[in-house]
Amino acid sequence: MRYKKTMESIKINVMQKLLKANDAIADEIRKSLKKKGVFFVNLMSSPGSGKTTLIEETARKLGKKIKVIEGDIQTTLDAERLQKLGVPAYQINTGPFGGDCHLEAAWIKTAIDELGMDDLEILFVENIGNLVCPAEFDVGAHLNVLLISVTEGEDKPLKYPLAFQVSKLCVITKMDLLPLKHYSLAKLRQNIKKVNPACAVIEVSAHDNVGLESWFEILKHKPGLL
């Protein structure tokens, strides 16, 4: 009996090959940075959850020990914010190439080559803002971190489980806005644990520095690198 190849099966085969190639480069990045003692952190979230602000506060605390790869479809606004603090930042815009809503390992490798990894402790990638595509592509990070603000729904982990499943840490942001919201932290934590029981959770407010010490402590211990 003969089976016809459908367009759907061709697309699946192509995607599997792309992901396999991406994973190989990501693994190379992870091993290379580990040898150099550079801790690589991938930040993912919906747009506006506070990724850039968290990096800014981290830069203020750690000084010149960090570099950042910025991912956006358009503009260099976030990179410019960081550069004003003296943080070396490399911008990747996907708009000219079709507006991909994620970053890939090959692009990260190019950015690392351009930035250079000498005299560096922590490399951040601020992934493009959404909870779907970035979770599908390994960028070679030692730690995937998912940010979710209290302005978002408690059901996000149930709606976008993969983003939470690939993350070892969930940072609940904008805690200073909690009194203004009808929001259940307990429900959010429960939903996170439903999709990823192993995911650690911390709560922060960059506005008033609540919880940031817990974040800095995690960076100090470099989970996934040592």
Q: For residue 111, give the nearest of 128, 97, 124, 100 by alpha carbon.
A: 124
How many whole angstroms separate alpha carbon 159 and alpha carbon 139?
23
pLDDT digits (tens, 9 = 90+) for 144-154: 999 999 999 99
At residue 67 the predicted structure's pLDDT band, cuts being 50, 70 and 90, is very high
Over residues 192-218, the mean pLDDT reads 95
- Considering the chain, what percentage of its residues have pLDDT values greater than 70? 92
- C-alpha 127/C-alpha 53 separation (Å) is 14
pTM: 0.90
| Mean pLDDT, rounded, of the chain | 91
CATH topology classification for 24-221: Rossmann fold (3.40.50)
* pLDDT of res. 6: 59
pLDDT tens for each residue of 91-141: 999 887 667 888 999 999 999 999 998 889 999 999 999 999 999 999 999
Q: What is the DSSP string of 13-49?
A: HHHHHHHHHHHHHHHHHHHHHHHHT-EEEEEEESTTS
153: Cβ–Cβ under 8 A, 6 or more apart, which residues?
159
153 backbone dihedrals φ, ψ, rounded to 5°: -75, 150
Q: What is the mean pLDDT of residues 202-208?
A: 93
Q: Is 42 left (phi over 0), alpha (psi -120 to 50) or beta?
A: beta
Position 17 pLDDT exceeds 50: yes
Q: CA torsion 122→145→70→106, rounded to 10°?
A: 90
CB distance 128 to 134 below 8 Å: yes
Burial pattern 44-76, b for ≥16 Cβ within 10 A else e, equals bbbeebbbbbbbbbbbeeeeeebbbbbbbbeee
| Cα(173)–Cα(50) distance, integer angstroms | 7
User: What residue ranges do the domains of the chain occupy?
Assistant: 24-221
Range among 6-15, 203-212, 217-226 rated most confident: 203-212
Task: Give the position of tokens 């939903």.
Answer: 191
**Under a CB-based contact definition with an 8 Å cutoff, are residues 201 and 172 in contact?**
yes
Checking DSSP bridges between strand 143-149 and strand 169-173, what pairing results, if any?
A: parallel
| Position 1 confidence tier, pLDDT thresholds 50, 70, 90 | very low
Confidence category of residue 197, pLDDT binned at 50, 70, 90: very high
Find the radius of gyration of the CA atoms of the chain.
18
What average pLDDT does the segment 9-28 reach?
76
Dist CA 59 CA 171 (whole Å):
17
pLDDT at res. 207: 87
Residue 47 has pLDDT above 70, yes or no: yes
Percent pLDDT > 90 in the chain is 78
